Amino acid sequence: MRALVIDRTAPGGLRLTDVPDPLPGPDEVLVRVAATSLNHGELPLTGSAAAEEGAVPGWDAAGTVERPAASGAGPAAGARVVTWGWSGGWAELRAVRVDELAVLPDKVDFVRAAALPVAGLTALRALRRAAVAPGHRVAVTGASGGVGHFAVQLARLQGAEVVAVVGDPARGAGLTELGAGQVVSDPADIAAPVDVLLDQVGGPLLARLLERMADDGTVISIGAASGLDTPLAPYRLVEKRLTLIGIQAGGRTGADLEHLARLVAEDRLRVSASRVADWRSAGELAEDVVARRVRGKAVLTLS
């Protein structure tokens, strides 16, 4: 089969080549991939990808079940599915556990489905971990990215008032339409204290945002895109009685993927796939993702 493999000498650190087909385990289905997405944290050029040269990365993928699980579990051949996994998504075929996928509603196409897993799951589980409820004020950093777009919408669906925090005002375009009540690039402009902070940036921005937290607030750390240290005054955490939690998406994702896909089918959750390209352009698109030139999600279709 054809697949994108890590080759740090190639554009974007990715090369399209032939690799052996995956061998599904007894509780795995074999999926013919139609679309996959690129996430900043899995790209070779971010320096955070731990996979070796020649490995097939890819967390998100959507396609059609080509061979059902030998155990009889999971969907039958021909089912349209969205899948999650720590590798193997950037290939024509993917072996995936039956509890790491969801059957797609007819209204959800492969492009939108491929954008859902990591970004949607991260946003959903962060809000759940913070126990976001109607009336809460929720701030989301990196709100112009894939996780941010989903977090803004899901927090609003849960009845929260949302503050979208972006690197510059231009990147805030469209966030009000997604549900943000306020879009800021400077924490000092946040109108009132926030109960929950979903942070993807870290660094000095996180330190400044801690000053905008309400007493007994919750901070969910889901990334550190700035790559900078966060200067903390520990006793301020005590004074405000803040709770800091770090989370990572993944593991038994099937039910949550089904929930997200249903929200998309019901037009309650919008998938912002602002860049869609053939996977032969993966290197160029990967470079744009690393350089933060993509709003929302970047999706590759398999030709």
CA-CA distance, 14 to 283, in Å (whole number)? 6
Last residue of a domain, which of 211, 230, 246? 246
Domain hosting residue 153, numbered range: 119-246
Report yes or no on 258 lying in a domain.
Answer: no
Q: Determine the pLDDT at residue 47.
A: 58
Report yes or no on 268 lying in a domain.
Answer: no
> Stretch 130-150: mean pLDDT, rounded?
96
Report yes or no on 257 lying in a domain.
Answer: no
Least confident range of 4-13, 230-239, 285-294: 230-239
CB 29 within 8 A of CB 101: yes
Average pLDDT, the chain: 94
CB 61 within 8 A of CB 95: no
Report yes or no on 265 lying in a domain.
Answer: no
CA-CA distance, 181 to 195, in Å (whole number)? 15
Asked if residue 227 and residue 171 are part of one domain, the reply reads yes
CATH of the domain at 123: 3.90.180.10
Which residues of the chain form beta strands (DSSP E)? 2-6, 14-18, 28-38, 60-67, 80-84, 93-97, 101-103, 137-141, 161-165, 182-184, 194-199, 213-221, 243-246, 275-278, 298-301
Report yes or no on 262 lying in a domain.
Answer: no
pLDDT (tens digit per residue) in 23-35: 999 999 999 999 9
CB 196 within 8 A of CB 126: no
Count of domains observed in the chain: 2
CB 14 within 8 A of CB 7: yes
Asked if residue 136 and residue 238 are part of one domain, the reply reads yes
**Which sign, positive or negative, has the C-alpha torsion 47, 167, 250, 303?**
negative
Asked if residue 169 and residue 141 are part of one domain, the reply reads yes
> Stretch 47-53: mean pLDDT, rounded?
66
Cβ within 8 Å of residue 266, ≥6 positions away: none
Asked if residue 193 and residue 159 are part of one domain, the reply reads yes
The single residue listed with the structure tokens 């939690």 is 245
Report yes or no on 215 lying in a domain.
Answer: yes
Report yes or no on 260 lying in a domain.
Answer: no
Query: Which has the higher per-residue pLDDT, 46 or 186?
Result: 186
pLDDT (tens digit per residue) in 147-193: 999 999 999 999 999 999 999 898 899 999 999 999 999 999 999 99
CB 156 within 8 A of CB 133: no
Report yes or no on 47 lying in a domain.
Answer: yes
Asked if residue 171 and residue 69 are part of one domain, the reply reads no
